[in-house]
Amino acid sequence: MNLRGTTQVFGILGDPVAHSLSPVMQNEALRQAGIDGVYVPFRVRREDLQAALAGLRALGIKGVNVTIPHKEAVCALLDEVDPEARLIGAVNTIVHRDGRLTGHNTDGVGLLRALAEDLGFHPGRRRILILGAGGAARAALVALCRAGAEWVGVANRNPARAETLVGEIRPNFPGTTFASHGMEGEELNSSLGQADLVVNATSIGLKGEEFPFFPWAALSREAVIYDMVYARGGTPLVRTAGAKGFRAADGLGMLVAQGEAAFALWTGQPPPSGVMRRRILADWERQEVPG
């Protein structure tokens, strides 16, 4: 790496960030695109978020990703939040231009691209069940409705949170019908039975654990599964789905696609095709980044 006085700085704000794969894939993309830039992980505690944003301005940092736990809180601290991120209620990418900080959310477009590329799935007029009602589920719900889903169900361990999420988003998408419920019982079985796609937007699987509940027999045989969680060698949910004869993909494609969209927002150009994914897979192969 050849840092100079002209080098542009990008990064990620979060806590923790040590596990993040973004520095590896973004630096590879900057290098291969021939951009004089560097992408740095910044561990920022909750109470320091405002100071960190002032730091971005003061230091002329060109753009950052935002991750747990700041995605929602950061919205109130920016000069502008684009309409999609505002509807989602979370920002994962900040662009710093002419002294102004603008928030975007590339998780939704990342999910749509991953669904198309990894599963050949397009949400228009399809029926989709989202498991989870946190920040990732919010981005998924908005993106899937925007892409023309006919029906979207949200199932969450805490059913009230699912109901609140659906209540907030429903008025914006009169062409979509909605359901919300808990993560067990007849309601879950019925939603699984009618879904063309099931998206795991919970954090189950992050530590390599199996899904504690998943009534596979209730799932339509044609359904496909997208697990937002990713792991070296695939997640338990994806492996089990495959063993039961379902098509499934883990969240690596979404991670890469949201990162590629952020790169394009910062630099005005898409990164070289496939570079980010290949770099992560190569590092996993050599066991150089966390799985």
49 token code pair: 């978020």
- The stretch near ligand NDP (CB under 6 A) out of 18-26, 78-86, 152-160, 280-288 is 152-160
Cβ atoms of 21 and 254 within 8 Å: the answer is no
Nearer Cβ to ligand NDP, position 70 or 127?
70
Q: Does 144 bind ligand NDP (CB under 6 A)?
A: no
Among the listed residues 13, 24, 66, 137, the single contact to ligand NDP using CB under 6 A: 137
Min CB(257)–ligand NDP separation in Å:
8
Q: Establish whether 71 is a catalytic residue.
A: yes
Largest pairwise CA distance in the chain: 62
Restricted to residues 218-247, the positions that interact with ligand NDP (CB under 6 A) are 228-230
Q: Does 269 bind ligand NDP (CB under 6 A)?
A: no
Gap between the Cα atoms of 180 and 187, Å rounded: 9
- By rule CB under 6 A, what count of residues binds ligand NDP? 26
Among the listed residues 135, 234, 236, 271, the single contact to ligand NDP using CB under 6 A: 135
The helices-and-strands tally (H runs, E runs) of the chain is 10, 12
Cβ atoms of 260 and 270 within 8 Å: the answer is yes
Nearer Cβ to ligand NDP, position 59 or 291?
291
What is the amino acid identity at position 211? Answer: F
DSSP string over 173-206: -TT-EEEEE-SSHHHHHHHHHH-SEEEE-SSTTT
Among the listed residues 107, 163, 260, 283, the single contact to ligand NDP using CB under 6 A: 107
- For residue 40, CA distances in Å to 9, 65, 74, 150 come to 7, 10, 19, 41
| Closest by CA position to 247, among listed 215, 274, 229, 220 | 220
Nearer Cβ to ligand NDP, position 60 or 216?
216
Nearer Cβ to ligand NDP, position 38 or 141?
141
Among the listed residues 202, 226, 249, 260, the single contact to ligand NDP using CB under 6 A: 202
**Residue of closest CB approach to ligand NDP:** 134
Among the listed residues 134, 148, 193, 242, the single contact to ligand NDP using CB under 6 A: 134
Nearer Cβ to ligand NDP, position 60 or 290?
290
Among the listed residues 32, 190, 203, 240, the single contact to ligand NDP using CB under 6 A: 203
The residues, any chain, with a CB within 8 Å of residue 148's CB and separated by 6 or more, are 123, 124, 125, 175, 176
Helices 159-169 and 135-146 cross at an angle (nearest 10°) of 40
């919010």: which residue's tokens? 138
Catalytic positions, written as ranges = 71
Residues near ligand NDP (CB under 6 A): 68, 107, 110, 132-137, 156-158, 161, 183, 201-204, 206, 228-230, 251, 254-255, 258
